[in-house]
Amino acid sequence: PQSVIVMGNLGIRRSDPDFISTYVMNTALGRQYTSRLNMNLRADKGYTYGTGSFFSSRKGIGPFGCYAPVQTQFTKASIQEMLKELRDIVGPRPLTDTEVADSKNNLINKFPRKFEGIAGVSDEASDLVMFDLPDNSWDNYMENVRRITGEMASQAAKDHIHPEALLIVVVGDLKVIEKDIRDLKLGKIFYLDESGNPIE
């Protein structure tokens, strides 16, 4: 038995000049094995087999989110730990130089794989058109990643992650998790049935 937790807020446009620093920051938060979310919820606590975070690309402002399918009995604790990581990265525990360096190396090392096949080349070329990016975006990508500093990545977290204004969605066994979630006092709670219709 599991609960699936997703929480997030409005994020960033793909064409935003701040996108690369946000991408580096988010890699440290939830896009690699050594990310903060994964090391907390999976490696340390054992609540989940996988957790992560994302900034979804859009022409307009796309969503930011983080997610975790967790064991039902750890629903409340998982929400608390996810919120803690989001609050920490924008506040008392900004990214370290080591975390930023690891994230940049990860993105740079993975980059050539995006162009290994025709489908990959097509996907990357379509992004240039879809998001109205400069024609030389991929030529400059690795250098743009390298120039991101810890200060830039931490500022991106502050600018684009809003822990006190999140929409939190939990899919799980209502009878088991409702009281624990109410005890968190996170704000107004809405209920949906299995078809996504509101429950009065």
3-state secondary structure the chain: CEEEEEEEEECCCCCCCCHHHHHHHHHHHHCCCCCHHHHHHHHHCCCECCCEEEECCCCCCCEEEEEEEEEHHHHHHHHHHHHHHHHHHHCCCCCCHHHHHHHHHHHHHHHHHHHCCHHHHHHHHHHHHHCCCCCCHHHHHHHHHHCCCHHHHHHHHHHHCCHHHCEEEEECCHHHHHHHHHHCCCCCCCCECCCCCECC
Share of the chain above pLDDT 90, in %: 92
pLDDT at position 57 over 90? no
Is pTM beyond 0.85? Reply is yes
pLDDT one-digit tens code per residue, 178-198? 999 999 999 999 999 888 888
Question: Which of the two residues, 194 and 93, has the higher pLDDT score?
Answer: 93
The predicted structure's pLDDT at residue 176: 96
Residue 199 scores a pLDDT above 90 = no
